[in-house]
Amino acid sequence: MSKPRYKRVLLKLSGEVLMGNQPFGIDPEFVAELAKEVKAARDTGLEICLVIGGGNIFRGMAGAARGMDRAQADYMGMLATVMNALAMQNALEQLGVHTRVQSAVQMDQVCEPVIRRRAERHLEKGRVVIFAAGVGAPYFTTDSGAALRAAEMQCDALLKGTSVDGIYDSDPKHNPAAKRWDVIDYDTVLAENLKVMDASAVALCRDNDIPIVVFSIREKGNLARVLAGEGIQTIVQKGA
Ligand code: UDP
């Protein structure tokens, strides 16, 4: 792996990528593959914060759409992100990568609470810090959690690993003529309502000048390529 262009990044993975090819839940084999990619990046000396969504298990909006109280459903969603964080911690530690999970919803028996200074120390020691439970409040998503932690931990970039290889002007799965941006401005993403992250997350990154790198995590070796500035990706940044 060539030398990465960042010193510290926040990697946000949507819960869906942990399902592998299953329709739901966690595929341990796929999580192990993801962990290998994270390890390879960490082994270059990069400091890595991780945020994992919960959409493979439970999304608050889906519960609310079926008659649940939204806040209650969102708390269930937050717990789903903790499960995913523990699955990733397990996979990373099986590869010998030291990790700590810090949850925004306190769960003393299971993981640490979010403490920025402690997280700093973990990163200095080469540990991967997995931030769970988003921002710890309903009506938010893990995208906002990722943007918040990226700002708080002074990350050089927020890498958003999804099933799509960047930001398109229409859905590439349905429109073969869809155009992908290499670089795009935060305000264009917001004005055109491009579905990459929720608006609050994009705005937080814009206000703190944190580039958002959108890429496909489903292709093997892609994280390394993206970190080296190669491979297919869309970068959201100022003045693009
Ligand atoms: N969630 C929340 N507050 C947060 C983060 C997450 O209420 O700060 C809940 C929300 O219900 C969300 C669910 O957790 O739908 C799972 O997170 P998300 O939808 O962001 O997961 P992803 O789409 O990335 O898999």
3-state secondary structure 152-220: HCCCCEEEEEECCCCCECCCCCCCCCCCECCEEEHHHHHHCCCECECHHHHHHHHHCCCCEEEEECCCC
Contact 4, 208 (CB under 8 A): no
Strand 157-162 relative to strand 112-113, pairing? unpaired
84 lies in some domain: yes
Which CATH number covers residue 205? Answer: 3.40.1160.10
pLDDT tens by residue, 170-187: 888 899 999 999 999 999
Residues 34, 39: Cα–Cα separation, whole Å: 9
Q: Which atom of ligand 1 is nearest to the CA of 56?
A: 25
Find the 143 Cα to ligand 1 centroid distance in Å. Answer: 8
Looking at residue 5, its pLDDT comes to 83
Residue with CA closest to ligand 1 atom 21? 53
Residues 140, 29: Cα–Cα separation, whole Å: 29
2 lies in some domain: no
Find out whether the beta carbon of 78 lies less than 6 Å from any atom of ligand 1.
yes
The mean of the pLDDT values for the chain is 95
**pLDDT confidence band for 52 (50 / 70 / 90):** very high
Looking at residue 196, its pLDDT comes to 87
pLDDT at 3 over 60: no
Could you tell me which residues are annotated as the binding site for ATP?
12-15, 55, 59, 162, 168, 171
Range of the domain at 56: 8-236
74 lies in some domain: yes
Find the 56 Cα to ligand 1 centroid distance in Å. Answer: 10
107 lies in some domain: yes
H or E segment and range at residue 74: helix 70-94
Q: Hunting for tokens 């690993």 — which residue is that? A: 161
196 lies in some domain: yes
Could you tell me which residues are annotated as the binding site for UMP?
54, 74, 135-142
pLDDT tens by residue, 28-40: 999 999 999 999 9
Beta-strand (E) ranges in 14-88? 47-52
Find out whether the beta carbon of 77 lies less than 6 Å from any atom of ligand 1.
yes
This prediction has a pTM of 0.96
Q: Indicate the number of domains in the chain.
A: 1
42 lies in some domain: yes
H or E segment and range at residue 9: strand 8-13
Find the 71 Cα to ligand 1 centroid distance in Å. Answer: 11
Looking at residue 93, its pLDDT comes to 98
